[in-house]
Amino acid sequence: MPAEEKITKGRCPECGAEKNADIVAAYKESWRLDEHAIWGHTDYRILKCRGCDSIYYQSAEANSESINYYYDIDGNPKQEYEFVYSYWPSPLKRPRPSWLDELISLDSVLHSILNEVYSGLDSDLAVLSATGMRTAFDRATELLGVDPAKTFQEKLKDLLAAGKVGITEKEALAVLADAGGAAAHRGWKPQPKQLETMMDIVEAFCYRNVILDGQVDKLKPQIPAKQKRQRF
């Protein structure tokens, strides 16, 4: 492999797009239709990210019919082949929160549900992701002692009464429930920005009530008590 082909740009599943990567292994497959003078090729590569050392797969496909015509800065006509890139694992559409792995010891079920939601977001499965967010909320409320058999509105009332949510968050969670119901029962497919807002609501609720409350409980006994002033 020539020296200039040992490094390329890739979309690392951890670091994101346009990151330098070492080409660990490569294979090129070419084809040609002589009767139509059409040809194409696909470059298959195993890459190692130079930022985080992640290993991932990239394919780059081009053919003689996919050409981008343009003019350079001096006005000269140019052309270049357009490559179609594919990656595995799929690049992360939403970064995982730093506290996600803490859920494994607290509740493996909620951890599993959230992981499936993130996988759905990575794979552009909008409907499944939206319904999974509603399921994650239901599981989190069960951990907080709310009866899982109750309706969503009853759960929200219990959370408000117990001080687990405020009025503003209660309204946001109600919107989340309606969105999840629309996806599950009315075939609504949320757009990426809408999914982002919905996941913001889920993450904030889970973090504050499942993760942060536990951390606060651990912090309290570690704070030194105030020393009484001695009078002389």
**Could you list the pLDDT tens digit for every one of the 232 residues in the chain?**
444 569 999 988 888 778 999 999 999 999 988 777 889 999 999 999 999 999 999 999 999 888 888 888 888 888 888 888 888 887 778 888 999 999 998 999 999 999 999 989 988 899 999 999 999 999 999 999 999 999 989 999 999 999 999 999 999 999 998 898 889 888 889 999 999 999 999 999 999 998 887 665 565 666 677 777 666 6
Residue 228 lies in a domain: no
pLDDT at 232: 61
How far, in Å, are 14, 94, 130, 197, 226 from residue 194 at the CA level? 23, 13, 10, 5, 48
Task: Reduce the DSSP state of residue 146 to 3 states and report it.
Answer: coil
Instruction: Out of 57, 88, 119, pick the residue that ends a domain.
Output: 88
β-strand pairing of 84-88 with 55-63: antiparallel
What integer pLDDT is reported at residue 220 of this predicted model?
A: 61
- In this structure, the answer to whether residues 76 and 161 fall within a common structural domain is no
Q: Say whether both 210 and 128 belong to one domain.
A: yes
- Same domain assignment for residues 191 and 111: yes
The answer to whether position 140 is within a domain reads: yes
Domain annotation covers residue 178: yes
Could you list the residue range(s) of the whole structural domain that residue 163 is in? 100-221
pLDDT of residue 1: 44
Q: Which of 9, 99, 84, 93 is nearest to 51 (CA)?
A: 9
Please give the tally of structural domains in the chain. Answer: 2
On whether residue 120 sits in a domain, the answer given is: yes
Predicted pLDDT of residue 219: 57
For the chain, give the percent of residues with pLDDT over 70: 91
Domain boundary among 55, 88, 121: 88
Query: Which residue, 211, 209, 106, is CA-closest to 159?
Result: 209
110 and 202, same domain (yes or no): yes
Residues 150 and 216 in one domain: yes
Residue 227 lies in a domain: no
Which of 35, 54, 88 is at the close of a domain? 88
Do 149 and 183 lie in one domain? The reply is: yes
Instruction: Please name which of 45, 56, 74, 42 lies closest in space to residue 12, comparing C-alpha atoms.
Output: 56
Q: 124 and 84, same structural domain?
A: no
For tokens 């399921």, what's the residue?
135
Q: What does the pLDDT look like over 94-152, one tens digit per residue?
A: 888 999 999 998 999 999 999 999 989 988 899 999 999 999 999 999 999 999 999 98
Task: Say if residue 140 is in the same domain as residue 215.
Answer: yes
Same domain? 81 vs 108 = no
Confidence at residue 215, expressed as pLDDT on a 0 to 100 scale: 61
pLDDT of residue 141: 94
